[in-house]
Chain A
Amino acid sequence: MQPLDLGTPLTLVLLFVFFGGTFLISLSIGKKRENADSYMTAGNNVGFGISAASMTATWIWAASLYASATSGYTYGLSGPIHYGLWGALMILFIYPFGKRIRSLAPRAHTLAEILHARHGQSSQLLLAGSNLLGSLLSLTSNFIAGGALISMMSPLSFSTGILLIAGGVLIYTLWSGIRASMLTDFIQVCAMLGAVIIVVPASFFAAGGSSIFADGAQNLTAQQRSFFSSEAFFNQGAPFIAAVLAYAIGNQTIAQRLFAVREDMIKQTFVTATVGYGATVIGVGMLGVLALYLGIEPADGDANNLIPQLAAGYLPLAFLCLFFIMIIGSLASTADSDLAAMSSIVMTDIYGRNIAGKTGAKPQLMLLIGRITMIAATGMAMFFASSRFDILDLLVLVGAIWGALVFPVIASFYWNKVNNSGFTVSVLAALAVFTLVRTGWLPLEGTVAIITDLLSVVGIGVIAGLMIFGFFGLKAGVAAALAMMLVTLPFAVGFLHQYPVLTASLLAYGVSAILCVALSWFNKDEFDFDRIAHHAGQFDTPNT
């Protein structure tokens, strides 16, 4: 096996070519046309090619490539499916809600801004705060992945790696915001997808081709050899199904692209991103499956080393460089999206809709605020990443906040009886229950376990119901929710609480949905949805 080291000069050349190229592309965006709205939504008129590429690139982050390979290595043949397929389908399931949101607020900048128009400040700030925290953690995670990759594949240190990645991303995103992020995403997705097309088959054939499966079959357990592994489903797939719907709703990077794409191209953009994300992530996950068959032990016991090990062990230097660019592309495309998302939230939800008020927002000051936000966020993420800050627990917490938000947010866009207090109380209560269960403060024993199992069944019903509701309407959604609850009830009670991570996530859905419905049902005030478009609109005048 050849060493992983690319050497300092080659590493720097690759980074220079990658970030230099993206920077040059971002220069092609006319600076004279820059205004606050374009900085956040790119004029709401971006075509299918860039939008679909950007959606794909944003959804694929470095962690998803590593995690899919780890899933393949841990759970065998079905592992990558239980990582990539569910993540991909969630893009698809969000699409009908995206269409609804866009029709309600064609000129909005953030989801939280729409909630401000729908409910008021507390609902808006709950979502905006969780969006900000989530994007900061995502940014930190990508910097950590970049620092780790550079320190693993070159003599450069972890901190130097973080500095190079952070500087490279900031330099091309700072000036033009979402427009730079989306345009460069296209080039980055070409690099990522191109690398998958080459690296996966090259690794497969270099490692021995189809004979791998005969020679290495003894390295797999019966569960790992099965396409229907219950271990893979309950430990990887099921928690992911629960989490990703929440991530798609709570993630401003997805919402931002929803507001940027041409309205008539939303469907094909989401469908293409679904296929692109799924095939890419599952494809990289196959490297983990190959490593399992080949009996490769991850270096230092860290499964994140598997892909680089496999690449270094079987691929020539040129392909190793391609692999390096693939990972850099995945983390840069998500990091620039996070920067653009955070700047939009601060510009719109903190300054535009709260500090400046309805008519007082100054677009040029907003632009300055957006750029300062990007610089500050980069500095904070670098600090957290350099400190090797443990972000895993925080990511779980943010995922839970989003899980608690999913039903109230979606209901707010369809049901005119949901109000601010119903929204806020249901989200906070669900979050409290999640925290009690996830931290183990509430032991899942006896009666408590039965109650949490029953509420978790409601959570399963809510997830299934929302998925069907988006495509087929209310009756089908309610029917699917009830059917799913009836089917799972006999199996779930007395069983689900054995999986506390999954239970906590399901409780977030179940409790928020029950309370939101209960508090809204008898509400006599009915909201007029036409008001949203008026209150969530442009900051610049059309010809600024």
Chain B
Amino acid sequence: MTEILLSAYVLIWPLIVAGVLLVLVRAFLREIREARKDGRPMI
């Protein structure tokens, strides 16, 4: 039981990082689309 919990403790962080990366990439792609649609630079 302890081994499973400790394994989860180690592996939960990359999982959260994956979630954050997904949020960032989706937002970035949306901003690219909106910028192109409006004919303005992204940054």
Contacts and interface: CB of A to CB of B under 8 A. Distances in A.
Instruction: Give the residue among A33, A194, A282 with the most B Cβ atoms within 10 A.
Output: A282
B22 to A, nearest CB: 10
B43 A200 contact: no
A147 B28 CA distance: 32
Interface in A270-329: 272, 275-276, 279-280, 282-283, 286, 289-290
Contact of B41 (A30, A213, A280): A30
Interface in A1-58: 29-30, 33, 42-43, 46-50, 52-53, 56
Given A201-B11, A211-B3, A213-B7, A48 B31 contact: yes
Interface string B1-22: 0111011011101101110110
A197 interface: yes
B30 interface: yes
Contacts of A197: 14, 17-18, 21
B31 A49 contact: yes
A186 interface: yes
Prevailing SS type, chain A contact patch: helix
B25 A33 contact: no
Contacts of A47: 27, 31, 34, 42
B25 A190 contact: yes
B24 A53 contact: yes
A509 B23 CA distance: 37
A200 B13 contact: yes
A209 B7 CA distance: 8
A289 B10 contact: yes
28 contacts: A49-B28, A50-B28, A50-B31, A50-B42, A50-B43, A52-B24, A53-B28, A56-B20, A56-B24, A77-B9, A186-B24, A193-B17, A193-B18, A196-B13, A197-B14, A200-B10, A200-B11, A204-B7, A210-B7, A213-B2, A214-B3, A272-B20, A272-B23, A276-B17, A279-B13, A279-B16, A279-B20, A280-B13
B11 A196 contact: no
A408 B23 CA distance: 36
Nearest to B23: A272
A200 B17 CA distance: 11
Contacts of A183: 42-43
A107 interface: no
Interface of A: 29-30, 33, 42-43, 46-50, 52-53, 56, 77, 179, 182-183, 186, 189-190, 193-194, 196-198, 200-201, 204, 209-211, 213-214, 272, 275-276, 279-280, 282-283, 286, 289-290
A98 to B, nearest CB: 19
Given A50-B28, A200-B11, A286-B10, A275 B3 contact: no
A330 to B, nearest CB: 13
Nearest to B3: A210
Contacts of B23: 52, 272
A49 B14 contact: no
Contacts of B25: 49, 190
A249 B37 CA distance: 37
A225 B30 CA distance: 44
A52 B25 CA distance: 11
Contact of A201 (B4, B14, B24, B28): B14
Contacts of B11: 200-201, 204
Contacts of B34: 47
Contacts of A279: 13-14, 16-17, 20
A196 B14 contact: yes
Nearest to A182: B43
A42 B24 contact: no
A29 B10 contact: no
Given A33-B41, A42-B43, A193-B21, A49 B27 contact: yes
Contacts of A77: 6, 9
Contacts of A189: 21, 24
A507 B28 CA distance: 43
A46 B32 CA distance: 12
A197 B25 CA distance: 15
B24 A276 contact: yes
Instruction: Give the residue among B6, B21, B24 with the most A Cβ atoms within 10 A.
Output: B24
A29 B42 CA distance: 9
Given A197-B17, A197-B18, A279-B17, A29 B7 contact: no
A303 B38 CA distance: 51
Contacts of A196: 13-14, 17
A290 B9 CA distance: 11
Contacts of A30: 41
Contacts of B20: 56, 193, 272, 275-276, 279
A179 B43 CA distance: 6
Instruction: Give the residue among A52, A213, A214, A290 with the most B Cβ atoms within 10 A.
Output: A213
Contacts of B16: 275, 279, 283
B13 A49 contact: no
Instruction: Give the residue among B14, B34, B41 with the most A Cβ atoms within 10 A.
Output: B14
A291 to B, nearest CB: 12
Closest 3 CB pairs of A and B: A49-B27, A283-B13, A49-B28
B7 to A, nearest CB: 4
A279 B17 CA distance: 6
Given A48-B27, A193-B20, A213 B6 contact: yes
